[in-house]
Amino acid sequence: MNDRDKRYAVLIDADNVSDKYIKFILDEISNDGIATYKRIYGDWTKPTFASWKSVLLEHSITPIQQYGYTTGKNATDSAMIIDAMDILYSGNVEGFCIVSSDSDFTRLASRLRESGMDVVGMGESKTPKAFISACNKFKYLDLLAMADKPAEAPAQIRKEEPDEDKMTNFETIKKAIITIAQENSDEDEWIFIGDIGNKLQKRYPDFDVRNFGFNKFTPFIKSLDLFDIKSERINGSNNKLIYVREK
């Protein structure tokens, strides 16, 4: 199956996600496959969810009503987890997109991956590391929204001081890239740039070049000024394979 044909269940925690992110949620998952299920969970009797109503109609997202019967208990989390397991056992999807900044979905993400599912997490930068690490990949919605505004300067993000409670920082990513290149290069010390990107994503699910102000991986690698770069045409076509080697 082509990756673009992968079917995903998109499950959104309305208690922890703003409606302003819906475009980024659906655009991002469309890069991985097809959103077969689109469900959002919350207590829709609350006035705070009113802004979601037009968004749900526009994007054909099914709202799942969950009343808050008991103070301090999150019925939304339970409903999402039960639905996720029902969808898993139906065999109708190859992946899940869990949209929340809540660590309560950490075990769910791990369980889905144990069953061979591709798990994409999405949430804000405040999302706990445990949930991020449990996903195959994780997207920071607030950073994607920031990068979408020309007036902002997302490249400044990488100048922040390292913080274990925030995204994987620039220095950590830089060191990992060097290590991956050293461990996986051929006998002439060259490595295909795509292999670096794939292995980096596996080590750090929240890695995304857009977190550091870039739209593509190759310009990001060039900006590090760590590697010599060469390209090879594929069978005489205009398509190229790019390789790097430490300077």
Shared domain for 96 and 147, answered yes or no, is yes
Does the residue 68 lie in any domain?
yes
Shared domain for 85 and 28, answered yes or no, is yes
Shared domain for 27 and 92, answered yes or no, is yes
Above pLDDT 90, what percent of the chain? 67
Shared domain for 148 and 41, answered yes or no, is yes
Shared domain for 19 and 65, answered yes or no, is yes
Question: What residues make up the domain containing 88?
Answer: 3-152
Reading the block at residue 222, the tokens are 């060039």
> Model pTM?
0.83
What per-residue confidence (pLDDT) applies to 232? Answer: 86
Amino acid, single-letter form, for residue 28: E
Does the residue 165 lie in any domain?
no
Shared domain for 233 and 194, answered yes or no, is yes
Q: The CATH number of the domain where 51 resides is what?
A: 3.40.50.1010
Q: The CATH number of the domain where 218 resides is what?
A: 3.30.420.610
Of 33-42, 201-210, 234-243, the least confident? 234-243
Mean pLDDT of 233-244: 83
Last residue of some domain: 152, 179, 211?
152
Q: Compute the chain's Rg from CA coordinates.
A: 20
Report how many domains make up the chain: 2
Give 225's pLDDT tier (boundaries 50, 70, 90). Answer: very high
Q: Contact, 141 vs 122, CB < 8 A? A: yes
Does the residue 162 lie in any domain?
no
pLDDT digits (tens, 9 = 90+) for 63-92: 998 876 554 446 678 889 999 999 999 999
What per-residue confidence (pLDDT) applies to 82? Answer: 94
Shared domain for 102 and 44, answered yes or no, is yes
* The pLDDT of residue 185 is above 70: yes
Shared domain for 123 and 180, answered yes or no, is no
Higher confidence at residue 166 or residue 28?
A: 28
Shared domain for 148 and 191, answered yes or no, is no
Nearest CA among 63, 61, 87 for reference residue 8: 87
What per-residue confidence (pLDDT) applies to 28? Answer: 95
Shared domain for 120 and 209, answered yes or no, is no
Query: Crossing angle of helices 217-224/170-184, nearest 10°?
Result: 90
Mean pLDDT (the chain) is: 88
Shared domain for 215 and 141, answered yes or no, is no
For the chain, the straight-line distance linking the first and the last C-alpha, in angstroms and rounded, comes to 39
Shared domain for 146 and 37, answered yes or no, is yes
What per-residue confidence (pLDDT) applies to 146? Answer: 86
Of 71-85, 145-159, 161-175, 190-204, the least confident? 145-159
Does the residue 73 lie in any domain?
yes
